[in-house]
Amino acid sequence: MSCSNSSIDEKDNKIDITNNVVDQGTDTYDIPVENVLSTIISPNGRVIEINGEKVDEAMKLAEEAKNLKITPEEDRKLVWKIDLCMFPLMCLIYAVQFMDKISTSSAAIMGLRTDLKMHGDQYSWVGSAFYFGYLFMNLGFVQLIFQKTKYMAKMLAVFIIVWGMLLTCHSAPSINYAGFIALRVLLGCAESVVTPCFTIITAQLLWKTEEQFTRICFWFGMNGLGSILLNAIAYGVYIHKDSYSIEGWRVLFVIVGVITIFLGGLIYYWIPDDPASARFLSEREKLMVVERIRSNQQGFGNHEIKKYQMIEALRDPRTWLYFLFTVSSNIPNGGISNFLSILMNGDFGYSSSESLLMSLPTGAVEFVGCPLFGILAVYAANKKIPFWRYRLGWAIFAAVLALIASCMLAYAKHSKSARLAGAYLWYISPVSFICVLSNISANSSGYTKKWTVSSINLVAYAAANLAGPQCFIPRQAPGYQGAKTAMVVCYAVMIVILVTLLTLNMRENKRRDKLEAERGHQEIVNLEFSDVTDFENPNFRYTL
């Protein structure tokens, strides 16, 4: 890295650029002098120029908020207000999107496979088809659509309404197997936006870094609520199936689809695209939000897709550790999500109605377990308890529990109770995925980089969930021993990846602390709203 005609004042840690030509590896960029707000030295020794035309869109609000004084009491009230105004609707949406995903699992034992004349591995492809659409959208289309738009929440609402319509179409009397598969692919396209959008909303707009993990635990834990609601609705529909003019499984899709459309309309009206458009915040509170998230070192976002940030995301080893983790954690998820009711019906020997009832506790475990882990993690962090104060420490613990659960499910062949306990305990496993989601949101700085890392991670999520149902080979029914063994291997690999990720972040933070001690702290006004990446920002520290 070189910078021509530049001088560094070591005492004040300020850089005076007189000729604004900065060597960026193999490329050279000429930036007009009047567009340069300031410069910093990155942790890797590069000179980084803050371009006034390409800063975060929150920069103007940051200037207004910089002299704002916020008392701890005001801050607590504001956080409670944001939580109460945002979370009920976000949680309901996440519950419903999980209902939509696993609706085929309940429908499968309500007559779906018989009525659509499925045979062999055709039902496995019903589970995989959803993730073909999910995979296609996250190859770049989700990032392109949502980073370029200034109306992220409105666009999200449109996608939600569309997927609700698609879900109701699953009940069409004329539907055949090919048409059903096509609808599952389209449904995957529409639902692919919710997790990345919720992650960006949680990480970028309203909450501090230390608050994000608990919030993600709560809305992701609503998968459990979705499972409870779906199985309860499916049970109610199933026991009254003879009173409907169409098959019970078709009624199930109509009910869930209509609920989704209604909630999509509420999202459009209520969830803000950014703090400045939040209906529930006063003008002062909007400025308070800007001021309180300075510590995130990330700002609100930038709608220009920056090529260098995309390249940086590809070069970041964390990106590929996230990728490998997500593959190993979601192959089991894709299988269990689509085959749990079938396992209950075949491997465990329950009737169709009993299988729906016995699936209810799985949702309760996730519904209670995920938020509980989030609360415990915050408590441990506040008390500075070694290892447990790290989010990735909780991820490793949850992965170990998932490995134990998978072993119980796979190898307790002569104990139905042990296998059932393993199936229930397995639903703690999403805690690990939540921890990694919160790590992506907190540790991938730079708006384009964050979207790129998130998209790559969700490509892995889709591919793994697509592969998961294929592990359930029809000739191995009803026990599906091969699929259960694959789960055990996946969770063992996942633990190794999490330990590697934690070690990498700890070492990099120590290196940056040492550099800061040598160079001194670089104080740049509004640096956190300059859309710089974690590689560029010397004041950035990775969340553990």
**535 inside domain:** no
CB 331 within 8 A of CB 471: yes
pLDDT reported for residue 243: 84
Could you give the number of structural domains in the chain?
2
Residue of higher predicted confidence among 94 and 526:
94
Q: Report how far apart, in Å, the C-alpha atoms of 304 and of each of 55, 98, 331 are.
A: 10, 32, 34
Is there a single domain that holds both residue 198 and residue 76? yes
Lowest mean pLDDT among 253-257, 487-491, 501-505, 528-532: 528-532
In a domain, 499, yes or no: yes
Which of 542, 499, 203, 213 shows the shortest CA–CA distance to 377?
213
Does residue 398 sit in the same domain as residue 475? yes
Is 63 within a domain?
no
**For the residues 496-516, what does the mean pLDDT come to?**
93
- Predicted confidence band of residue 168 (pLDDT cuts 50, 70, 90): very high
Residues of the domain holding 136: 72-298+311-459+470-518
pLDDT > 80? residue 79? yes
d(CA 406, CA 496): 17
Does pLDDT of 516 surpass 80?
Answer: yes
Half-sphere exposure of 407 (CA within 13 A, CB side): 8
Q: What is the DSSP letter of 5?
A: T
Q: Tell whether 191 and 49 lie within a shared domain.
A: no
R_g of the chain computed on alpha carbons: 25
Does residue 543 fall inside a structural domain? no
**Is pLDDT at 28 greater than 60 in this prediction?**
no
Q: How many CA atoms lie within 13 A of 434 on its CB side?
A: 31
Q: Is the pLDDT of residue 485 over 50?
A: yes
Q: What is the mean pLDDT of residues 363-386?
A: 84
Task: Please state the rounded mean pLDDT for residues 405-413.
Answer: 85
DSSP run (H or E) holding 40: strand 36-41
With a cut of 80, say whether residue 530 has pLDDT above it: no
pLDDT-above-70 percentage for the chain: 86
Highest mean pLDDT out of 42-56, 174-188, 285-299, 344-358? 174-188
Q: Is the pLDDT of residue 167 over 60?
A: yes
User: Is the pLDDT score of 227 beyond 80?
Assistant: yes
Which of 372-376, 457-461, 496-500 has the highest mean predicted lDDT (pLDDT)?
496-500
Mean pLDDT score, 92-116? 85
pLDDT of residue 528: 62
Average pLDDT over residues 222-250: 86
**Integer Cα distance of 257 and 326 in angstroms:** 28
Helix (H, G, I), strand (E, B) or coil at 51: strand
Pick the more confident residue, 204 or 473.
Answer: 473
Q: Output the average pLDDT for the chain.
A: 81
Assess whether 32 and 177 both reside in one domain: no
Res 58: pLDDT: 56
Same domain, 48 and 88: no
Q: Is the pLDDT of residue 138 over 90?
A: no
Same-domain status, 490 and 370: yes
In a domain, 172, yes or no: yes
- Is 379 inside a domain boundary? yes
CA 535, CA 540: separation in Å to the nearest integer?
8
pLDDT above 90: percentage of residues in the chain: 19
Indicate whether 293 belongs to any domain.
yes
Please give the Cα distance from 316 to 323 (Å, whole number): 11
* Structure confidence by residue, pLDDT tens digits, 411-447: 877 888 888 888 888 888 888 888 888 888 888 888 8
325 pLDDT more than 90: yes
Residue, of 262 and 411, whose pLDDT is higher: 262
Question: Residue 288 above 60 pLDDT?
Answer: yes
Q: CA-to-CA distance for 373 and 369, rounded, in angstroms?
A: 6
Domain co-membership, 46 together with 173: no
Q: How far out from the chain centre does Cα 526 lie?
A: 28
Q: Quick one: pLDDT band at residue 399, thresholds 50, 70, 90?
A: very high
pLDDT at 502: 94
Strands 6-9 and 14-17, sheet pairing: antiparallel
Higher pLDDT, 510 or 6: 510
Q: Is the per-residue pLDDT at 297 higher than 60?
A: no
- Check residues 397 and 227 and name the one with the higher pLDDT: 397
- Helix %, strand %, coil % of the chain (to 5): 70, 5, 25
Which pLDDT score is estimated for 367? 86
Q: What is the CATH number of the domain that holds 291?
A: 1.20.1250.20
Residue 384 lies in a domain: yes
> Which pLDDT score, from 0 to 100, does residue 92 have?
92
Higher-confidence residue of 11 and 428: namely 428
Binned at pLDDT 50, 70 and 90, residue 66 comes out as: low
Q: Report the pLDDT averaged over residues 187-193.
A: 89
Between 347 and 55, the higher pLDDT residue:
347
Please tell me the predicted confidence (pLDDT) of residue 158.
Answer: 93
DSSP state string for 194-215: HHHHHHHIIIIII--HHHHHHH
Q: Which residue has the tokens 């019903």?
A: 126
For residues 334 and 217, membership in a common domain is answered with yes
Q: Specify the higher pLDDT residue, 376 or 56.
A: 376
Q: Which residue has the higher pLDDT, 387 or 258?
A: 258
Position 7 scores a pLDDT of 36
**Residue 463 in this model has a pLDDT that exceeds 80:** yes
CA–CA distance, 62 with 289 (Å, rounded to integer): 10
Query: Given a cut of 60, is residue 34 above it in pLDDT?
Result: no
How far, CA to CA in Å, does 96 sit from each of 246, 255, 445? 23, 11, 30
Dihedral sign of CA atoms 187, 300, 204, 304 in order: positive
Model-level pTM? Answer: 0.77
Q: Give yes or no: residues 10 and 116 share one domain.
A: no
Residue 38 bridge partners (DSSP): 50
Q: What is the pLDDT of residue 482?
A: 85
- What is the pLDDT averaged over residues 339-363? 79
Shared domain for 45 and 81, answered yes or no, is no
Stretch among 257-271, 428-442, 515-529 having the lowest mean pLDDT: 515-529
Residues in the chain: 544
pLDDT at 213 > cutoff 70: yes
pLDDT at 2 over 60: no
Q: Mark whether 257 and 403 lie in a shared domain.
A: yes
Same domain, 80 and 201: yes
Per-residue pLDDT band at 183 (split at 50, 70, 90): very high
